[in-house]
Chain A
Amino acid sequence: MLAQFLQFLFSGATVGATYALAALGFTLIYNASNVINFAQGEFIMLGGMLAVFFTQSGLPLPVALVLATLIPAIVGIVVEKLAIEPVKGAETVTLIIITIGTSLVIRGLTAVFLGKGTHSLPAFSGDTPIEILGATLMPQSLWVLGVTAVVVVVLWYFFNRTLTGKAMLATSYNSLAAELVGINTSKVLFMSFAMSAALGAVGGILVTPITLTSYDVGIMLGLKGFVAAVVGGLGNGLGAVIGGLLVGILESFGAGYLSSAYKDAIPFVLILFILFFMPRGLFGARVTDRV
């Protein structure tokens, strides 16, 4: 009974950590530009696929992982420079279509160059499960949770203790005012894209040994990351992390106790339910329109 509960909790938290990283990516870009980046999931996919590709071509694991994080970050910058910056201030739908176009291009290129097969990555520290009160925890789960925790702490430090981080936060509150005090908001924008692409890629790399990857896993992962970001209240970093874990854990419990066929529907039922009662997510700021 307890063992089963813990089992669901472990697997939910592991997947949830990936959603949390994706949700942080959404949040970063949303704060910098008000854009919902529907290509976020493709960075998760790209991280996993590149990690597989580089390890299979014989590179040592650490090098492969660094490359698999850096390349998506560069792709993120390219996307921002070519597709987002030229249309600053366009309507929401227009921006949504641009980011979806971007996701199609990334997915299409991956299929062309890395193939349409399903791939796996060896777990970083072996496959010997750890037993806790009758439930088993894979060492890779610890990697996922540990790295996510480190990333969250580093991000917190970055945004609260460094000048660049504070400049990025300032831009998200009021980009005009930020520009007036001398912050280069266009630099903030491309840093946000680079960081959120890297975050997505890290999540994708870490989770691949557990969930496998292929060129088309990005859509669902991205959409669930979006759910997580909205659950937490768009733009709220801590909310995104909590949202990610919540979505992952509830999905795991739902699949385990209710119906595994409807596993993918659970995050979306959850978000509709939350939005109906809390139109700005769990931690979203209440705003009053000025007229």
Chain B
Amino acid sequence: MQKRAYFGLYIVIAVLAVLPLVVPNSFYLDLAIRMAINAVIVLGLNLLIGFAGQISLGHAGFLGIGAYASAVLPTHFGWHPLLAMGAGAAVTGLLAAVLARPIFKLKGQYLAMATLGLGIIINIAIRNEATWTGGPDGMPVPAMGLMGFELTSDKHWYWVVALMLSVSVWASINLIDSPFGRALRALHGSEVASQVVGVDVVRYKVAIFVMSAVFASLMGSVTAHYVGFVTPNLADFFHSIELVTMVVIGGMASVYGSLIGAVLLTALPQALATFEGWETVAFGMILMVCMIFMPKGLVPTLAAKFGKGD
């Protein structure tokens, strides 16, 4: 099983390496970059939702903190973008860690409510503090630079993001098959059994929540610099739902499902743009149909069909 997991990693790396050579134009390169950014966020979120069995309906809020740290700190205070990115991740990590203890005493619907509320509060704060954030209109983000080199071309961004994605896939596979990862999956399988063998369940839930939040924050910063502009929509409830949907459509507790989910749901709005006015209806329909016919998500459903594990 492990061997097959790493084989998948080589395929991911191969695809990422070949992709820039075969994409017909910059539109598709841009799409690929956004897919990869989402894929990293979704990998982290899947560790929380799919593997540890905990729900979060507020992750876009963390993404927003990262994105706005990268916009606000360099613009208003002249911070170096990398420092701003780190600060955003640190603030996110701290916030997530402080709130996670009381939040993860909650279960099921109550947990959904608490994380949803947290995300919405962050979003409202971003919308209201217009002096700093530009309010609902958003604000521009200065370019990411390192030692005199400015990261502006899509080609460069592509390689940066592809590297991040490859490392994230590798780290996720490693984590899942380790004592830490087993404890996460065990508390999903049977919380009481995992406690009885010594797993401090709240600590593990908190750890994976903080980790996935920090991932979302970092990728929020990346998004901000790559797009060059941030709006509060990055942090809104609907975006949180979009991220969760990527996890579930691709397949909960499946690393490669996360990638597929991110790729499909990033491409979908583009594909639906031709429906003029009916995009929302079509998007909603697709979510419903996918979940009704494949409640376990694409990758696990297909894997079961063709008789392969994982």
Contact = CB atoms under 8 A, between A and B. Distances in A.
| A contacts B directly (C-beta below 8 A) | yes
A108 B278 contact: yes
B117 interface: yes
A285 interface: no
A93 interface: yes
Interface stretch (A49-57, A64-72, A248-256, A267-275): A267-275
Interface string B103-121: 1011011101110111011
A271 B280 contact: no
A222 to B, nearest CB: 10
B285 A279 contact: no
Contacts of B252: 91, 93
Given A264-B124, A268-B120, A93 B49 contact: yes
A261 B125 CA distance: 9
A268 B114 CA distance: 8
A98 B291 contact: yes
Interface stretch (A99-107, A124-132, A205-213): A99-107
B121 A105 contact: no
B296 to A, nearest CB: 8
B182 to A, nearest CB: 21
A58 interface: no
Interface in B240-294: 241, 244-245, 247-249, 252, 277-288, 291-292
A101 B291 contact: yes
B134 interface: no
Grouping DSSP codes into helix (H, G, I), strand (E, B) and loop, the B interface class, with mixed when no group exceeds half, is: helix
Given A219-B237, A223-B237, A271-B117, A100 B287 contact: yes
Residue with the greatest number of chain A CB neighbours at <10 A, chosen from B120, B125, B252, B291: B291
B287 A261 contact: no
B145 interface: no
B288 A105 contact: yes
Contacts of A291: 192
Contacts of A272: 99, 114, 117-118, 121
A275 to B, nearest CB: 5
Given A94-B295, A97-B291, A98-B292, 4 more contacts: A83-B292, A101-B291, A111-B277, A279-B106
Pairs of residues from A and B, 7 with the lowest C-beta to C-beta distance, nearest first: A104-B284, A101-B287, A108-B280, A108-B281, A268-B117, A101-B288, A105-B284
